[in-house]
Chain A
Amino acid sequence: MGLYEQVRFAFCAVSGHRLRSLLTLLGFGIGVAAVVLLTALGEGARAYVTSEFMSLGSNLLIVLPGRIETSGAAPLIGGNTRDLTLADMESVRRQVPRARHLAPLSVGAAQAAFGDRRRQVTILGTTSEYLTLRHMTLTSGEFLPALDADREAQVAVIGETIRKELFGAENPLGRSMRVGEWRVRVIGVLEPKGMTLGMNMDEVVFVPVASAMRIFNQSSLFRILIEAAAHADIEDVRRDVLKTLATRHDGEEDVTILTQDSMLASFNRILGALTLSLAGIAAVSLSVAGIGIMNVMLVSVSERTSEIGLLKAIGAPPRAIQRVFLVEAILLSLAGGILGLAAGYLGAGVLGHAFPSLPARPPVWAVMAAIAVSFGAGVAFGVMPARRAARLDPVTALARH
């Protein structure tokens, strides 16, 4: 029997028991759909986190004061953490030429007011380079002026949400608003950017870093952001920055430097493991469904004993009988697999619709795996029933009606 005839014969057999085949398909389809959907979720989470970090800029290094150990025992005698200062930043600028852009960051919260409208805002103190470094753009006006970092100025750049809530329809440019006890002139409005790394950039007021540190009476910067000249320079820049700062801090490495790559790598590890474990859970349901196929095939073999006897009587060798039932099992599992894929894609689509920020798209490997696994399960769970059929004694098989 050629493959085509074999498939046609198997198709006849499968469609002969419509309900039973359908239920088996359903079971197997659910298993495959689970694989597709769960891996899509895992991949979606990974893609989400990755894109979050990507928005940082791939050549970015973040310097924060204090040593954060991500491994090993905590030191018993903690060294005094020295302040991270603007002078530190300037010294890095001088000594690490491959640090192309540097921007300080200080953070505080204050009430902003314009007229009788007021709202709690996050104040970010930085310098003009921040705009380039974070790839941000303005809707109107301009960003902070290119002053020396330690110069104050009573100017502010506001996020889109702030503009809407405090100024409404008015043009905020040139208007004076209050930030805490302090008056600033609005010189620019940022283009909406939304959340990055847990901070809504639309609800932020930027002021010169020296002013922010004075308002909040801070001696240490919150962060120094550094953009390396090229992606390949990141490690060198990291090492040089660490060395420069250690020299300035009495030889002690009391800062932590995060890079996008290092953060991405650890998140990728975690989320990759998550995806794998989700796939593992899904695989359990798939194997349960596979046993369902085996069960149906066994029932089918015992139901069709006399048919097997007949096939043997009219010249089917054991191999052909085995193939007939194997093809049937594969047909069932593949159809289930395709059904499950469709359902999985549908589910992922619905999820993507419901949570647009989470790109729940099944990874290509999961789709391939689902099809391969359906086929494999058909073979694996079909072999035993098929062999049983092939080994039946024709005389006893024919005696059954």
Chain B
Amino acid sequence: MIQAEMVEATEFPELSMLYNVSGVPQTTINAGKAHVVGAVPEPNLLAEIQRILAE
């Protein structure tokens, strides 16, 4: 149900542009539904995932 992928931004420029990647690391959730920039503490990431799933 859940997949986590490291994406090397310079090799995938269209995807990086699509998700407005400027600062890394950027964690993009569900193909652009949400983004978190920087190192994310686990509870924060969990909260973001829960938030967008509830929408």
Tell me if chain B binds chain A. Answer: no
Residues of A within 8 A of B (CB): none
Residues of B within 8 A of A (CB): none
